[in-house]
Amino acid sequence: MIRVTNLTRVYRVGSVEVHALTDVSLSIEDKEVACIMGRSGSGKSTLLRQLGLIDRPTSGKIMLDDRDVTDLAETERAKTRLTRLGYIFQEFALLGELTAHENVCLPGMMAANGGGYAKRAAELLAAVGLKERMNHRPRELSGGEQQRVAIARALVNNPRFLFADEPCANLDTVSSELVMETLVELNGRLGVTVVFVSHDPNDRQYANRVLYLKDGRMVPEHDQICPPDAEPTGSRGGQ
Amino acid sequence: MGRSLGVAFFLAKRAIARGNLRVSILSISVLVLVYLNIALGPAMIDGLVDLINDKVRTTVTGDILVQPDFGEDFIPDAKALASQIEAIDGVEGAVPLKVVGYQIRYEGRQFTSSLTAADPTDFGSVFTTSDYMIEGSFLEPDDTDQIVLGINVAGADRKFDASWASLRSVNAGDRVVVVFTNGVEKEYTVKGVFQTEMPYSDIKAFITESELSLVSPEVGDSATHLCVRAEKGCELGPIMAEIQALRDGLSVGTWEEAAGMIKVSVDSVKSVYFIIQAIALVVAGLTVAMVTYIDLANRRKQIGIQRAIGITKQTIILAYTFRAFFLFAVGTILSSLVFVFVIVPLEKQHPVHFSFGYILFPVDVLYLAAAAVVLGVVSLLSAAIPAWQATRMEVVDAIWSS
């Protein structure tokens, strides 16, 4: 379970303070697929980075499975990211010098509780439909294929939570559907809690819970009848 | 730690095999040039120092110099003493030398200095001056009325730095007038002219012992000093002690003590070069650091991604350090091979000419190893420090500020 209480993130740009998140509180149950939606600049990605322990909040508290992870030391944060969290970036973020299989293996190799990570990496790549592309390097894969490699990489250590930051932002419609279906299928098959960010209203269909952000604040559920970010169906692109 | 090492090694291996080839080639080229610079400089200085020392020993002082004690002008019974010295283990030869003041004149020019008289056979057992004849030949034991001049005395129609002090145009076969300090004036035929390229030596002039006994019989069997040549690699200390014990009234010193000014000059050159080398190492370190830093700046996002997926800082730093070690090893091995198997043999065939003669580059394995260790440490630090700095950034900054 993820529980966030009064989370605030303030960036300082020169002498100006930018409040990216203000007093955000939420909870996401185990095995849920939660979608965070909102306009560009509403703080969706910032929130996901706090949950994925990639950024540190200015104040507030983040609990993962009843463990306070807000102020963990960097070594502990790295260990938590490695073993309990999976993170999928908007722009794929694969390591160009490694093949698809090696990219997926890398976190497994680092965690390595015994062997078997190579086999698991191969199974995950097969599960995301890339069995035949395992030995290709990222530049030899399409955007959709790269994103599916990133999904496999995020899952190699059997994480409890999977965070995806606009995983389809750089993909065409067909690839987007494939990626989203893959996420939902893995949620069902592996029981991993999935939190993804999107600004495409169509993606709500993949979530069993939708959270809205506006100007860095959570929009109360009773105000969510009319989604604040209603972009045309099928329109995709980065924030 | 084991896992970190394994992952770091894996990342380094892949970065080397599949990374930017141009950056790797640039880094290796920088290391090759830096290492060659570090290896070549001291080799030249060592070669020059060896050359100067060798010239001093073989044309000016010998290995050991025996002089009369302070207050005495001559060593009596010099021939007998030379025979006793030659009997000492490790001594290859000993020659009594008689140095007298003289003035030499030729076609309106004159030059005043000191003239050395010696038995040419004994002289040849200690000195190699006769190997440097550029005109005519060296003296024979029975030669009289003949003189051999250094290039700085004769001039021999050659242009060189000290020509202002010389007779300028004396060549082998020319007749010169010599005036000794006892007032004797005599005409000599120049038998030969030598050029050792060592100013201390090239300012000398020689006549035979037999000739000196004709013009200055009062000198007799006395010598102003004796020069001794030791066998190669022989310890001079015990030989000097034995010479000292032969009789009272002797002052025995090494060639280094005798050629004090030269040693001071050489030491000064070495000190200056040590400073230059230290600066070269700092420049080398900065160059390697710069190449690594530029490479790392381009990989900041990659470092951020690695950290975001749970790779530890320690692992990332180790990966860059392993990579730097590989580049350093390739660079150093390559430049060592180039130095030992290309530059040194090539230089041996076409030696570099300095003002003291042709120098050869000695291969000092210990120095090369020490230079490699220093460069290795510099390379590793040059990779580890920027990598450490890059991993200090927040993950979010590393990924999204790139």
Mean pLDDT of B85-104: 95
Indicate whether B267 and B244 sit together in one domain: no
Indicate whether B194 and B119 sit together in one domain: yes
Mean pLDDT of B275-296: 75
Write out residues 158-177 of A within 8 Å (CB-CB) of B.
Answer: none
Element (H, E) at B178: strand B175-180
CA distance B363 to B292: 30
Q: Count CA within 13 A, CB hemisphere, residue B323.
A: 33
Written as one string, the DSSP assignment of B115-164 is: EEEE-HHHHHHH--GGGGEEEE----TT--SEEEEEHHHHBTT---GGGG
Look at A55 and B6 and tell me if their CB atoms are within 8 Å. Answer: no
Question: Where in B17-145 does DSSP place strands (E)?
Answer: 64-68, 91-106, 109-118, 133-136
Pick from A49, A74, A102: which is nearest to B396 by CB? A49
Model confidence band, residue A224 (pLDDT cutoffs 50, 70, 90): low
Model confidence band, residue A146 (pLDDT cutoffs 50, 70, 90): very high
State the residue range of the domain holding B181.
73-248
Position B362 in a domain: yes
Position A117 in a domain: no
Mean pLDDT of B175-193: 95
Q: Would you call B336 helix, strand, or coil by DSSP?
A: helix
Q: Does A106 touch chain B (CB under 8 A)?
A: yes
Whole-number pLDDT of residue B268:
79
Tokens of B67: 């002089």
For chain B, give me the number of helices (H) and strands (E)?
Answer: 15, 12
State the residue range of the domain holding A199.
2-91+159-223
Q: Are β-strands A33-38 and A59-64 bridged in parallel, bridged antiparallel, or unpaired?
A: unpaired
Q: B55-64, B83-92, B150-159, B181-190: which has the minimum mean pLDDT? A: B150-159
Q: Give yes or no for residue B402 having a pLDDT over 60.
A: no
| CATH number of the domain bearing residue A32 | 3.40.50.300
DSSP character at residue A140: G
Q: A8-17, A125-134, B363-372: which has the minimum mean pLDDT? A: B363-372
Task: Record the pTM.
Answer: 0.71
Q: Minimal Cα–Cα distance from A41 to chain B, Å?
A: 15
Indicate whether B374 and B274 sit together in one domain: yes
Whole-number pLDDT of residue A222:
54
Mean pLDDT of B83-109: 94
Tokens of A128: 């995301």
CA distance B1 to A83: 17
Model confidence band, residue A191 (pLDDT cutoffs 50, 70, 90): confident
Please identify which residue in the block is written with the tokens 């005395």: B153
- Long-range contacts of A131-140, Cβ-Cβ distance < 8 Å, separation of 24 or more: A133/A100, A134/A99, A134/A100, A134/A101, A135/A99, A135/A100, A135/A101, A136/A99, A136/A100, A137/A96, A137/A97, A137/A98, A137/A99, A137/A100, A137/B18, A138/A92, A138/A94, A138/A95, A138/A96, A138/A98, A138/A100, A138/A103, A139/A96
Whole-number pLDDT of residue A105:
94
Whole-number pLDDT of residue A22:
94
Mean pLDDT of B20-41: 82
Q: A55-69, A148-162, A163-177, B176-190: which has the minimum mean pLDDT? A: A163-177
Model confidence band, residue B42 (pLDDT cutoffs 50, 70, 90): confident
Domains contained in chain A, number: 1
DSSP character at residue A226: S
> Is ipTM beyond 0.90?
no
Q: Does A89 touch chain B (CB under 8 A)?
A: yes
Pick from A56, A87, A111: which is nearest to B308 by CB? A87
> Looking at the DSSP assignment, which residues form a beta bridge with residue A214?
A217
Please identify which residue in the block is written with the tokens 């038995």: B119
Please identify which residue in the block is written with the tokens 């972009």: A231
Model confidence band, residue B261 (pLDDT cutoffs 50, 70, 90): low
Question: What are the chain B neighbours of A110 within 8 Å (beta carbons)?
Answer: 3, 7, 310-312, 315
Look at B312 and A75 and tell me if their CB atoms are within 8 Å. Answer: yes
Q: Among residues B46, B68, B34, B400, which one has the least CA distance to residue B224?
A: B68
Please identify which residue in the block is written with the tokens 């091979």: B337
Look at B399 and A75 and tell me if their CB atoms are within 8 Å. Answer: no
Indicate whether B342 and B239 sit together in one domain: no
**Please, what sign has the CA dihedral across residues B254, B260, B263, B268?**
positive
User: Among A54, A84, A91, A161, which would you mutate to test the B interface (most chain B Cβ atoms within 10 Å of its Cβ)?
Assistant: A54
Look at A89 and B308 and tell me if their CB atoms are within 8 Å. Answer: yes
Whole-number pLDDT of residue B353:
80
Query: Of B248, B273, B291, which closes a domain?
Result: B248
Q: Among residues B384, B366, B381, B378, which one has the least CA distance to residue B278?
A: B378
In this complex, how many residue pairs, one in chain A and one in chain B, have their CB atoms less than 8 Å apart? 72
Q: Are β-strands A161-165 and A193-197 bridged in parallel, bridged antiparallel, or unpaired?
A: parallel
Q: Give yes or no for residue A29 having a pLDDT over 60.
A: yes
Indicate whether B267 and B329 sit together in one domain: yes
Indicate whether B151 and B242 sit together in one domain: yes
Indicate whether B396 and B313 sit together in one domain: yes
Indicate whether B100 and B197 sit together in one domain: yes
Position A131 in a domain: no
Position B329 in a domain: yes
Q: Minimal Cα–Cα distance from A225 to chain B, Å?
A: 33
User: Among A21, A106, A135, A137, which would you mutate to test the B interface (most chain B Cβ atoms within 10 Å of its Cβ)?
Assistant: A106
Question: What are the chain A neighbours of B11 within 8 Å (beta carbons)?
Answer: 106
Compute the mean pLDDT over every residue in chain A, rounded to the nearest whole number: 86
Please identify which residue in the block is written with the tokens 């730095």: B161
Q: Give yes or no for residue B360 having a pLDDT over 70.
A: yes
Domains contained in chain B, number: 2
Q: Give yes or no for residue A6 having a pLDDT over 90.
A: yes
Q: A89-93, B120-124, B316-320, B347-351: which has the minimum mean pLDDT? A: A89-93
Tokens of B343: 């530059």
Q: What is the pLDDT of residues A83-130, one digit of tens each?
A: 999 999 887 789 999 999 999 999 999 987 667 889 989 998 988 888
Look at A111 and B310 and tell me if their CB atoms are within 8 Å. Answer: yes
Tokens of A94: 């694969």
Q: Does B16 touch chain A (CB under 8 A)?
A: no
Give A171-213 as a 3 state SS string: CCHHHHHHHHHHHHHHHHHHCCEEEEECCCHHHHHHCCEEEEE
Query: Of B193, B221, B248, which closes a domain?
Result: B248
Indicate whether B202 and B310 sit together in one domain: no
Look at A78 and B312 and tell me if their CB atoms are within 8 Å. Answer: yes
Element (H, E) at B276: helix B260-298
Element (H, E) at A21: strand A16-28
Pick from A52, A109, A154: which is nearest to B7 by CB? A109
Say what percent of chain A tops pLDDT 90: 49
CA distance A87 to A164: 6
Mean pLDDT of B281-294: 75
Higher pLDDT, B299 or B181: B181
Whole-number pLDDT of residue A239:
34
User: Among B315, B395, B397, which would you mutate to test the A interface (most chain A Cβ atoms within 10 Å of its Cβ)?
Assistant: B395
Query: Of B223, B248, B273, which closes a domain?
Result: B248
Q: A203-217, B104-118, B282-296: which has the minimum mean pLDDT? A: B282-296
Q: Minimal Cα–Cα distance from B323 to chain A, Å?
A: 14
B202: number of Cβ within 10 Å: 23
